[in-house]
A and B are shown apart, each in its own frame.
Chain A
Amino acid sequence: MADKLISKIPDGPLSEKWTKRKSEIHLVSPNNKRKLEIIVVGTGLGGASAAASLGELGYNVKVFCISDSPRRAHSIAAQGGINAAKNYQNDNDSVYRLFYDTIKGGDYRAREANVYRLAEVSAAIIDQCVAQGIPFAREYGGYLANRSFGGVQVSRTFYARGQTGQQLLLGAYASLNKEIAAGTVKSYPRHEMLDLVVINGEAKGIIARNLVTGQLERFGAHAVVIATGGYGNTYFLSTNAMNSNGSAAMQCYRKGAYFANPCFAQIHPTCIPVHGDQQCKLTLMSESLRNDGRIWVPKKLEDVEKLRKHEIKASQIPEEDRDYYLERRYPAFGNLVPRDVASRAAKERCDAGFGVNETGKAVFLDFSDAIRRLGHQKVAERYGNLFEMYEKITASSPWEEPMMIYPAIHYTMGGIWVDYDLQTTIPGLYAIGEANFSDHGGNRLGASALMQGLADGYFVIPVTIGDYLSHKFAEPKTDINAPEFAVAEKAVQARIDRLFSIKGTETVDSLHKELGHIMWEYVGMARDEEGLKTAIAKIKELRERFYKDVKVPGTQFEFNQELEKALRLEDFFDIGELMAYDALNRRESCGGHFRIESQTEEGEAKRDDANFMYVAAWEYKGDGVEPELHKEDLKYEFIEVKTRNYKD
């Protein structure tokens, strides 16, 4: 069924593709929009901006989120900023350069046309956000301020202190509230999607569980938009929020949507190191800190020993005995290399025995130079709240001693396969934001997740979904009494009943933690064939144990957080397995995916363009059956594919 992978990329020059596609798309007249219903699942930047914009257009929108309010979605936690090709700094930035940086940063595994469109609409996002009243940082003259992020040599990142994600989400949430008040959008908080309903091959609705009453409810529509984020929590420990999960994506996958590049997971270099085995969540320290912070470990192992025994402090180690390893290995980009490169370099130093804390899994991020150069006030203005946050968690002040950081799972570039219109392989089903795979290739650049979520939600989906819906306005409202709804609901009910019937002894979290250990050990920062095969076998064993021995307390018809977690863990097993299959297939190192078998003599990642320049789209073939691989070849017509070089 390889013919399902039709990317629908418009012909013609790169810079005219989006304009061309927009001009081809059929319109839906205002009186017909009123007859059409759209379900949006998720209220992060993608979901909230999509639901609000679709509501403004006059569609009837139903928007779902698992938390008590749309404002809690995990986009809220993004700290550093949002990229846009405004060239306000006159540093020779452009749409082309943002496009180029993103393609290169993604290690040439993203689609040219999608990424170019992303760069093209980026400037309008900033305009929109300012109009909504988002208090971005300003210069004294009243103009917008910018800073730099990893993997680029210009300043194109807009920010609101270390709370950019919060402010952008509150902006999208405000627009959503405006539409809820206007009656075009109906909001369903504390509702969790548990299945997709497909009728005659088209997405027509969802089954959701009301998390307060526990009832299963049916919702019908003419189209469904998935905006439920990524699957980083497969690893148990990650920077994702506790409730972030990949379940909606897995439900779509099981109903026939292909899942693309699952093995591309981003490991963020600057997180607070793990402190003990009681931890369940890791905290990110914004990448913006690498603008002024310098990363190092001691040159001498005896200094490392003393640090671990608390006999000396980092600040007592003289300059000549410090190894600023990013500046040493990558002189052109220094501390601002992309995330995958910085993470691997930290692992390399720690594996060589230079980790600076008791566990041997930490490196320093040092601000002493910046404080000397810029002064206390300037540094406080840029990073004050991040320093405070670090001190609250670790009880150590970055003003006196360098921060300690270590890589952790942060974002997933893989996701539901979509075409240029963001439509999945199931007609009428769309995926936006982190939930799809399309824009970041093998590695996402900093400050680009916010850009993509809002690009998809404000500017892409409101246009492209019209092409599908323009053929649907004559169709009646979806009947939730159709047999397909009954079948889907019954299957969800059976899943729930099965979980309660097990009555075992192991808690959901303890099993999830074990899955996390398997994933980090074998599908983490360095992967090889043997390890990946081990991971697949171990996940199978763990899943069997789950179905024999998990203990889900309480009942279905009440607020039951353990049941929520158990349902999500079932899906995390499947995602973990899928990630391992994909990683096993991709016998090259690329972006966040590092195969030990594929590296240069210097230990740098070695890509294999001859054999792997494709999107790996996986088709579900049944539980416990190996999924089928479909390939979408990537063609680079407008840029020269090169080896990523951040050295010179």
Chain B
Amino acid sequence: MNFNVKIWRQRNAKAKGHFETYHIDDIESDASFLEMLDILNEKLIREGIDPVSFDHDCREGICGACSLYIDGRAHGPDDHVTTCQLFMRHFKDGATITVEPWRSSAFPVIKDLVVDRRAYDKILQAGGFISVRTGAAQDANNILIGHDTAEESMDAAACIGCGACVATCKNGSAMLFVAARVSSLALLPQGKVEAAKRARAMVAKMDELGFGNCTNTRACELECPKGISVAHIARLNREFLKAKFSE
């Protein structure tokens, strides 16, 4: 297959970015999108052009590093996948494909398609944990958790922290990301103790870091590679209100 790839190039955080278009031939339809970029980079290096920087690591959809905005969609034109799980067979032969970094003031560009997502770490540092010390735990089976509750908690815990929800949201809100963590822990008995405090601290940190507000467009849910439901945002709101009333 052959493609024209129109890619955002930006030397560093301070430089002004622009699009460059590159032509690439002989791509197998079974190649992944990132393998296509690898091949493009090999070509660029041989031609003396600076290769395109992009974040990637596990290449099996779980580490959350890859973060490309392709043809106007986070992780490209397939549902519920990460960029590394997107295959070239989803594109038309000869197509022009536009590739951009996540666009969000909370995720500044480092270079080309690489952005700085440390804001996510900071939100989790504000309270995305259960305060248990190593060695303090009782026997695991002393905490009984119903099968369905564990499954629901797992649905939320599946978040890979890629940032697609923020990149997709017209307000640049991180509500789905925050809600996934808050909800996953609030569902479990061991996470309930700090649930309200956790919700309040994480939401406050999210606001402080310049993420936008949630206006319930549900776009995040559609583009989440792990299909995390906006129902978790409702649980976050409940915990947040509890915290407000207890003040």
Contacts and interface: CB of A to CB of B under 8 A. Distances in A.
A313 to B, nearest CB: 19
Nearest to B126: A181
A177 B127 CA distance: 8
Contacts of B153: 133, 135
Interface stretch (A551-559, A584-592, A628-636): A551-559
- Place the interface of chain B in its size category: 35 or more
A53 B126 contact: no
A160 B146 contact: no
Given A124-B135, A174-B124, A558-B11, A553 B45 contact: yes
Interface string B127-151: 1111111111111110111110111
Contact of B137 (A130, A163, A177, A554): A130
Main secondary structure of the interface of B (DSSP, over half): loop
Given A275-B30, A458-B134, A281 B59 contact: yes
B63 interface: yes
B57 A127 contact: no
Interface string A125-154: 011111111111111111110000000000
Contacts of B31: 276, 278-279
B139 A127 contact: yes
Contact of B50 (A69, A187, A554): A554
B243 interface: no
B131 A559 contact: no
B38 interface: yes
Given A135-B153, A276-B31, A71 B57 contact: no
B65 interface: yes
Contacts of A241: 57-59, 63
Contact of B28 (A127, A276, A281, A561): A276
B110 A76 contact: no
A131 B138 contact: yes
Interface in A505-556: 505, 507, 509-510, 551, 553-554
Interface stretch (B68-76, B91-99, B115-123, B229-237): B115-123
Interface in A91-143: 124, 126-143
A69 B135 contact: no
Contacts of B27: 278
Interface stretch (A388-396, A429-437, A594-602): A388-396
B57 A509 contact: no
A181 B60 contact: no
Nearest to B156: A135
Contacts of A88: 141
A561 B57 CA distance: 12
Contact of B134 (A128, A130, A161, A212): A128
A72 B65 contact: yes
A124 B133 CA distance: 12
B184 A559 contact: no
Nearest to B112: A559
B178 to A, nearest CB: 14
Contact of B118 (A68, A127, A128, A143): A68
B118 A177 contact: no
A510 B116 contact: no
A443 interface: no
Contacts of A507: 42, 45-46
Nearest to A173: B124
A186 to B, nearest CB: 12
A128 B12 contact: no
A69 B118 contact: yes
Interface in A261-278: 275-276, 278
Nearest to A557: B12
A138 B58 contact: no
Interface string B79-92: 00100010101000
Contact of B184 (A67, A135, A137): A135
Contact of A181 (B85, B125, B137): B125
B214 interface: no
Contacts of B116: 68
Contacts of B204: none
A67 B56 CA distance: 9
B150 A135 contact: yes
A56 B154 contact: no
B45 A74 contact: no
B89 A133 contact: no
Nearest to A559: B111
B62 A76 contact: yes
A643 interface: no
A174 B128 contact: yes
B134 A72 contact: no
Contact of B12 (A77, A143, A462, A559): A559
A133 B59 contact: no
Contact of A143 (B50, B120, B144, B157): B144
Given A136-B150, A177-B125, A278-B31, A392 B46 contact: no
Contact of A72 (B63, B110, B144, B158): B63
A360 interface: no
Contact of B146 (A56, A138, A189, A558): A138
B213 interface: no
A166 interface: yes
B130 A131 contact: yes
A247 interface: no
A144 B141 CA distance: 7
Q: Which of B31, B60, B110 has its CB near the most chain A CB atoms (within 10 A)?
A: B60
A84 to B, nearest CB: 9
Given A131-B137, A135-B157, A163-B62, A559 B110 contact: yes
Given A133-B184, A241-B63, A76 B58 contact: yes
Nearest to A212: B110
A297 B188 CA distance: 45
A29 interface: no
Contacts of A86: 140-141
B161 interface: yes
Contacts of A333: none
Contacts of A160: 154, 157
B42 A510 contact: yes
Contacts of A6: none
A186 B126 CA distance: 15
A384 to B, nearest CB: 12
7 contacts: A129-B140, A160-B154, A279-B35, A393-B87, A507-B42, A558-B111, A562-B51
Closest 3 interchain pairs by CB?
A142-B144, A131-B137, A174-B129
Interface of B: 11-12, 27-28, 30-31, 35, 38-39, 42, 45-46, 48, 50-51, 53, 55-65, 81, 85, 87, 89, 110-111, 114, 116-118, 120-121, 124-141, 143-147, 149-151, 153-154, 157-158, 160-161, 184-185, 188, 190-191
